[in-house]
Amino acid sequence: MTAPETPALPLPARTDVAVIGAGYTGLATALHLARAGRQVTLFEAGGLGAGCSSRNGGMVGPSFHKLGVAGLTARYGAAKTLDIMGEGLRALEYFEGFVADEGLDCDLQMRGRFRGARTRADYEATGRECDWLARHLGLPCEMIPEAEQHREIGSAAYRGGVVYHRDGGVHPRKLLLGLAQKAQAAGVAIHCHCPVTGLRPEGDATTLTTPQGKTVAREVVMATNAYADGATRAMHRRVVQIRTAAVATEPLGAEVMRDLTPKGRMLGESGRIFMWYRPSPDAERFIFGGRLGRPGGPAATQRRAFATPVTRVFPQLSDVGFSHVWSGSVAYTPDHSPHLGRYDGVWLAGGYCGSGVTRSVYFGMKLARKILGQPEADTAFDDLGFPTVPYKPLSGLGAQLLTRWYSHLDARDLHRD
């Protein structure tokens, strides 16, 4: 699938809605607004999906919450926890229906996800959470004891694990391009390589300044997520940008691929700083990702950083090289929740905390409904607020220090098990 043409159109003097960021969130929001008859102008500083939307792991699922059931209950109570967790399932159901209804060619494969437990304590905690999910949400998940995990993964690295049967994967770039094509067909004017460098409120409108000129918009949507900057301060001050990296192996062959993942599942593991991994959509390679090494550093350094955790899980890959290395940023929030709504005079959606494929498309639809004043626009996140990051200038350093500390705790837990 090739990228749709985005010709250098002149900027309109005025537009109903200006959307900043041509990733999943921005494209989905723009699509729904345009289909409702709004004039939508979309600004992208780089190329289509230059940020996380075309460089993520492509895993889809309920994406429940980083705090888990216990953490959510302690913070918000049982009723709100159920609502937030249920929103994850509603997002997944919407995503699957949207892909099918729109005929998006994005290699959606709902084959489930196996999540390995690195310690016995992790296995027991996962079992308790699975019981809650099955009882309260009817989520099909299956605990896999250590003696049976060979049926799910070609590894003896875990103390058992869980299979989430409602998880799956997509080709992230194909999903992005499919959204872009739909948005353009609906009349969205996409301006790539056109960063917004300034925003100035003027009465009931906002003037957006770009290197190509100015546009006055009645509404502004910031869908920049981890790629927010000073010009998109409303989002920037609410998220912590964290660098992550990924590698892809050389082609492995059908027999090796079946050994690594007999059922073609998405894969992951417990831990504070964990590695996710999956077969590529064409089932020829394996892709590994996470907050490992020094994302953005030299490719050779990044390859070495992944070699240890990869061979910890799959010793049979010790002689396999990594043909591709890349990195990017994800957006975390102070309360570990994604958010959407109107803040500082603009519309925001983001802070997906590394689990945004499913939710971003869903949030784009919900945000459009909010802007249009349509029914069924509410979400479980609406009354949580969208807090700013304390000591924002130091947040990057703080994230690095926490990553090192969490890695130490993970190593300690493994040593004790």
Q: pLDDT tens for residues 112-138?
A: 999 999 999 999 999 999 999 999 999
What's residue 403's pLDDT?
Answer: 81
Please report which confidence band the pLDDT of residue 172 belongs to, taking 50, 70 and 90 as the band edges: very high
Residues contacting 81, CB < 8 A, separation 6+: 69, 72, 73
Which residues are paired to 190 by β-bridges?
A: 42
DSSP state for residue 321 in the 8-state scheme: P
Is pLDDT above 60 for 1?
A: no
Is pLDDT above 60 for 179?
A: yes
Q: Output the average pLDDT for the chain.
A: 92
Task: For the chain, give the percent of residues with pLDDT over 70.
Answer: 97
Pairing type for strands 198-202 and 161-164 reads: unpaired
What's residue 8's pLDDT?
Answer: 66
Q: pLDDT tens for residues 216-259?
A: 999 999 999 999 999 999 999 999 999 999 999 999 999 999 99
Is pLDDT above 80 for 264?
A: yes
Q: pLDDT tens for residues 287-346?
A: 999 988 777 778 888 899 899 999 999 999 999 999 999 999 999 999 999 999 999 999
Tell me the CB-side half-sphere exposure of residue 330, using CA atoms within 13 A. 24
What's residue 237's pLDDT?
Answer: 96
Tell me the CB-side half-sphere exposure of residue 157, using CA atoms within 13 A. 23
Q: Look up residue 196 and give its two tokens.
A: 């917004």
Which domains, and CATH codes, for the chain? 7-107+171-239+333-386 (3.50.50.60), 113-165+241-329+403-417 (3.30.9.10)
